[in-house]
Amino acid sequence: MSLSFKKIVDLAVPMTHMNTPVYPGYPQPLRTTFSTVRDNGYESYVWTFVEHVSTHVDAPVHMVAGGATVDKMPLSHYIGNGVVLDFSKKAKRFQIKKADVEKAISSTGHSKEIGKGWIVLFHVNYTAKNTAADWLEHPDITKEAAEYLVSLGIEAVGIDAPGPDHPPFEAHKAFLPKQVVIFENLNNLDQLVGEDFLFVGTPIALAGGTAGITRPVALVR
């Protein structure tokens, strides 16, 4: 097995004390000091944060009562062949339909392979706007497009926006009951358009968690 890659791309946004873009109504992450080098010889902090902050992955239990928690999903849903579908030039609130996804997949040249073992990432370029007034005006993956992706047998989806949809969260409700986990607030997807890469997005193993923060990386082949 070869472990050589052309480059490693960091797909996370940092989680910053009291200064992280959060979904409306969600609390800011907090960091307090537990111990300092000066007092005890070692430095250590206590962080308090909501599960759905910064770059994270939603587990089925987020929208499915009794669904799988983030620590219980097989790791194959977090690590897989990655592909980026480029919707970065679309108007705000663009509705990504099944036909749009089919066309985008076929333009990647992977239409025969995308399915089990694959993680499909949507580049809409809204993480770049996460301090702007229109951060929440990102495109939606429609219900039929989400159902189409589920039918392919993929492991996960991701997006560089706070989420793949708006209330009533039809994409979430199509993906999560079918064990397709959702990576949100991804970053730097512009660097992966047209690339072949391994996506590694293993989250923190919060026992019983509805999501887990993660620092995904793309290992570009």
Site string for Zn ion, 58-97 (x = CB under 5 A): x---------------------------------------
170 near Zn ion, judged by CB under 5 A = no
For the bound state, the minimum distance from the C-beta of residue 28 to Zn ion, rounded and expressed in Å, comes to 16
Least Cα distance to 115 among 87, 150, 139 occurs for 150
Output 114 or 175, the one with its CB closest to Zn ion.
175
User: In this complex, which beta carbon is closest to Zn ion, that of residue 82 or of residue 212?
Assistant: 212
- In this structure, what is the dihedral angle of CA atoms 131, 149, 140, 202, given to the nearest 10 degrees? -20
Q: Does 165 bind Zn ion (CB under 5 A)?
A: no
Which is nearer to Zn ion, 114 or 161 (by Cβ)?
A: 161
Would you count residue 52 as binding Zn ion (CB under 5 A)?
A: yes
Size of the site for Zn ion (CB under 5 A): 4
Q: Residues in the site for Zn ion, rule: CB under 5 A?
A: 52, 58, 184, 211
